[in-house]
A and B are shown apart, each in its own frame.
Chain A
Amino acid sequence: MKNTPKALSFTVQSQCLKTRARTGLMKLPHYTVKTPVFMPVGTQGTMKGILPDQLEEIDCEIILGNTYHLGNRPGVDVLKKAGGLHKFMGWNRALLTDSGGFQMVSLLKLAEITEEGVKFRSPYDNSEIMLTPEKSIEIQNCIGADIIMQLDDVVQTTFQDYDRIKEATERTSRWLDRCISAHQRPTEQNIFPIVQGLLNADLRKQSAEEHMTKDVNGFAIGGLSGGEAKDDFWPMVSLSTGILDNNRPRYLMGVGLAVDLVVCVALGVDMFDCVFPTRTARFGCALINKGQLNLKQKIYESDLNPIDTDCLCETCKRYTRAYLHCIVSSETVACHLISVHNIYFQMRLMRTMRENIEKGTFPEFVKQFMNEVYPQKTFPSWVVNSLSSVGISLE
């Protein structure tokens, strides 16, 4: 380890005696974040109509920005002149940016990946652009987030070709080295490597072990949550968290459904992100423990309950399901109200998990939670198996 001041210090506060769940404090340049944490996604430097002040009040401690989008608009020059994304959007707490690589592959079918980087056509002006590991870090250095991501070679999760997966995994490791040496602000920003290997246990093991040898302050687990079967998903999470050491935070990318969060916290994950809570809000869906309510449905027309009777968010304090039903398809206000509730819901779930880990009651909480979600005890096999791998028996 080098002897420079660190941009991240992580201390485990308490450890569940049965599962791998733990709580921790992750001290970042802009904020000290309590883990396990859910990070809402604010793609373009804003959280879907919600003010930064409101996000603070619903206890968001760290949010995400997308490098690909921000690099296009407002662009690196504007962000540089504004003094970084924190100042530009008026957000004083922690930020994380992705590498931009995922958008290339998900948005742009024409992307071509070579050893040098990802080549694609800009959807804005159709020019040819090459995103290299160095370029990604350069943009992320301008944005100035507390945590930045290495550029990884992304292959669709359900892809089967072993050679291509192997190539992607090994290239991701080589690109990590290029990212680390291109990084200009190591005392203010942390690069997280991304564990790749898709659903191949050997490659994933190889990737995680290699990343462990690097001088980094935390790790991400990537290449999952891309449409694979849940029975294939959880063993990869478990394998990764088993290799990555206990003294650094582990971030599982793109996971945010309540059941997945509970299982993966039990498997030892500390950080999550997902567009789901805000995206589903735009379609009029509000999150509750049992799943979600589609407020467009006529059954809510005269339903004078709040979305969730136990919820203390600003939306549930004031608004009924009946009212939200009336405005859900026509007013932006409805979208803001449901987004506030949904983000609050995620924050509340994470807080409840942290409290239970600290009290030593996490396994009981998990059982109670699953019984509420599946009152008929029709637990999916992956939930039963994953939890039993960490000593929680549902049946």
Chain B
Amino acid sequence: MRFIVTKAGYGSERIGNLTGFVKCPNVVIETPTSGLFTQGGSIVHLTADVLARVFTNPQILVMPLTNSIQLETGVKAQNEGVTKFAGLPEHVACVTVNNFSEIVPPGHFEPGKIPLWTKHGKRMTTADKYMDIMEIFRPDMFLAIADGCMSVNETPKRLSKAVDRTCKLLNTCVDRYKASKELKNSALVGVVVGAQNQKKCDECIENILKHVDCISGVALEGITDGTDLLKEDTNQYCDIFKKIGGALPKELFRILEGCWNPAMTLSAIEHGWDIFDGTYAVKLTNMGIALKLSFDVTKENETPYLLDMVDERYKEDFSPILEGCECLTCKKHTRAYIRHLLNTREMLASVLLSM
């Protein structure tokens, strides 16, 4: 897999291409982009058939191991990789560790092990075990396992330990990666943590850059534990996006996990972040909220961009969520219908909002 910056902006923002996927050599995914968040290997609420009605081109599937580890036995038996097993072989998988659309419990560390909070409880996982699973999943790209789950206000001691642990875990991942035949078509992504502490963060980045010959991208963790970020809009985060973005070589693609609102996402794009994890859309859907952004810069957007579809006001509103939107939901269904589906707790509501 390759990443090329095709156009750099006036600031740090950039347009890039992800290409050279072995299973789909002609595919070009343009960045900045948002991946589609998965649970158990499937796009949340959308079957492959329905997904094909929304996107005709391949998408990045963001697959946290915490909610997909149960696929291991089946993927291994089939031996054709995780996307094929999950019924989405034409798409590109990016395996991550944690699901940042939910709060991840803190703590529970043992030397050399990271807790994975799966639906069947906590599973302590070593870098070797993690790489074993990656060799079975054979994703198009995957994050190195890291100690990246903490809030932005962690103590210096915790940050320091997280960086040390993350560096060690990366070194094991790199050794395994270099020796692995199964992963020769998978891109390895290093993880930066400790952004709140200049010195420790530099250490972390330095360690990643040591392995730059086998690392294709970098993901930023350690600034959220999945706590609700929807209402936050603080400069603290923007400064981190800027600082880390500036410290990374331009040829590495950059992944930002977490449930960021559109303003925060734009700020991250401004500082050169390329790939987002899609949890924002999932979270809104599960809250019954529709996103209404027209992306038309010629029009001043005066109306709110989040519509709470359960609200009584949409009861007899027979207009689409967004006039002129080309998605199947907007083309065929009304606000009143979606409100009715939410009100009666019908599953189609989530399907329509996801689209």
| A contact residues vs B (CB 8 Å cutoff) | 44-54, 69, 73-74, 77-78, 81-82, 88-90, 301-302, 304, 314-315, 318-320, 322-323, 325-327, 330-337, 340
Asked if B284 CB lies within 8 Å of chain A CBs, one says no
Q: Which residue of B lies closest to A88 (CB)?
A: B337
Asked if B86 CB lies within 8 Å of chain A CBs, one says yes
Q: Which residue of A lies closest to B333 (CB)?
A: A90
Flag if B71 contacts A73 (CB, 8 Å): no
Return the CB mask of B26-66 against A: 1 if under 8 Å, else 0.
Answer: 00000000000001111111111110010000000000000
Q: Using A46-B348, A49-B348 as known contacts, say yes or no to A323 and B45 having CB atoms under 8 A apart.
A: no
Return the CB mask of B324-335 against A: 1 if under 8 Å, else 0.
Answer: 000010001110
Flag if B50 contacts A323 (CB, 8 Å): no
Closest CB-CB distance, B238 to chain A, in whole Å?
A: 35
Which of A53, A326, A332 lies in contact with B45, CB distance below 8 A? A332
Flag if A74 contacts B351 (CB, 8 Å): no
Flag if B347 contacts A319 (CB, 8 Å): no
Closest CB-CB distance, A40 to chain B, in whole Å?
A: 14
Flag if A318 contacts B40 (CB, 8 Å): no
Flag if A335 contacts B347 (CB, 8 Å): yes
- Name the B residues within 8 Å of A315 (CB-CB): 47
Which of B44, B46, B70, B347 lies in contact with A326, CB distance below 8 A? B70
- Name the A residues within 8 Å of B39 (CB-CB): 327, 330-331
Flag if B351 contacts A49 (CB, 8 Å): yes
- Name the A residues within 8 Å of B40 (CB-CB): 326-327, 330-331, 333-334
**Could you show 24 A-B contacts with beta carbons less than 8 Å apart?**
A46-B348, A48-B346, A49-B346, A49-B350, A51-B328, A51-B351, A74-B343, A78-B315, A78-B340, A81-B316, A82-B337, A88-B336, A90-B333, A90-B337, A304-B74, A304-B78, A314-B48, A322-B85, A323-B87, A326-B74, A327-B41, A332-B347, A333-B40, A336-B351
- Name the B residues within 8 Å of A73 (CB-CB): 340, 343-344
Closest CB-CB distance, B49 to chain A, in whole Å?
A: 4
- Name the A residues within 8 Å of B74 (CB-CB): 301-302, 304, 320, 322-323, 325-326
Asked if B109 CB lies within 8 Å of chain A CBs, one says no
- Name the B residues within 8 Å of A89 (CB-CB): 337
Which of B41, B46, B348, B351 lies in contact with A323, CB distance below 8 A? B41
Complex formed: what's the CA distance from A336 to B87 in Å? Answer: 14
Q: Which residue of A lies closest to B77 (CB)?
A: A302
Which of A69, A82, A320, A325 lies in contact with B318, CB distance below 8 A? A82
Flag if B41 contacts A340 (CB, 8 Å): no
Flag if B341 contacts A51 (CB, 8 Å): no
Q: Which residue of A lies closest to B332 (CB)?
A: A90
Asked if B119 CB lies within 8 Å of chain A CBs, one says yes
Flag if B336 contacts A82 (CB, 8 Å): yes
Flag if A314 contacts B78 (CB, 8 Å): no
Closest CB-CB distance, B274 to chain A, in whole Å?
A: 28
Which of B41, B53, B71, B77 lies in contact with A53, CB distance below 8 A? B53
- Name the B residues within 8 Å of A302 (CB-CB): 73-74, 77
Which of A304, A331, A336 lies in contact with B77, CB distance below 8 A? A304
- Name the A residues within 8 Å of B348 (CB-CB): 46-51
Flag if A333 contacts B85 (CB, 8 Å): no
Complex formed: what's the CA distance from A340 to B50 in Å? Answer: 11
Given contacts A48-B346, A333-B46, 17 further A-B pairs with CB under 8 A are A44-B344, A47-B348, A49-B346, A50-B348, A69-B344, A78-B316, A78-B336, A81-B318, A90-B332, A314-B48, A320-B85, A326-B71, A327-B42, A330-B39, A331-B39, A332-B44, A340-B47
Flag if A319 contacts B316 (CB, 8 Å): no
Flag if B45 contacts A333 (CB, 8 Å): yes
Which 7 A-B residue pairings sit nearest by Cβ, starting from the closest? Answer: A49-B347, A322-B74, A327-B40, A302-B77, A318-B87, A314-B49, A333-B42
Closest CB-CB distance, A307 to chain B, in whole Å?
A: 13
- Name the A residues within 8 Å of B344 (CB-CB): 44, 69, 73
Closest CB-CB distance, A338 to chain B, in whole Å?
A: 10
- Name the B residues within 8 Å of A304 (CB-CB): 74, 77-78
- Name the A residues within 8 Å of B341 (CB-CB): 44-46
Query: Most B CB atoms within 10 A — which of A78, A88, A333?
Result: A333
Complex formed: what's the CA distance from A340 to B49 in Å? Answer: 10
Flag if B336 contacts A74 (CB, 8 Å): yes
Flag if A301 contacts B73 (CB, 8 Å): yes
- Name the A residues within 8 Å of B41 (CB-CB): 323, 326-327
Q: Using A51-B348, A330-B39 as known contacts, say yes or no to A74 and B340 having CB atoms under 8 A apart.
A: yes
Q: Using A50-B348, A314-B47 as known contacts, say yes or no to A320 and B336 having CB atoms under 8 A apart.
A: no
Q: Which residue of A lies closest to B49 (CB)?
A: A314
Which of A54, A81, A320, A340 lies in contact with B78, CB distance below 8 A? A320
Complex formed: what's the CA distance from A333 to B77 in Å? Answer: 22
Flag if A322 contacts B77 (CB, 8 Å): yes
- Name the B residues within 8 Å of A54 (CB-CB): 49-50
Closest CB-CB distance, A347 to chain B, in whole Å?
A: 16
Complex formed: what's the CA distance from A331 to B71 in Å? Answer: 13
Query: Most B CB atoms within 10 A — which of A45, A46, A77, A326?
Result: A326
Closest CB-CB distance, B42 to chain A, in whole Å?
A: 4
Which of B43, B44, B315, B346 lies in contact with A46, CB distance below 8 A? B346
Q: Which residue of A lies closest to B345 (CB)?
A: A44
Flag if B86 contacts A323 (CB, 8 Å): yes
Complex formed: what's the CA distance from A49 to B355 in Å? Answer: 13
- Name the B residues within 8 Å of A336 (CB-CB): 47, 50, 347, 351
**For chain B residues 303-339, which have a beta carbon within 8 Å of chain A?**
315-316, 318, 328, 332-334, 336-337, 339
Complex formed: what's the CA distance from A100 to B78 in Å? Answer: 49
Flag if A45 contacts B340 (CB, 8 Å): yes
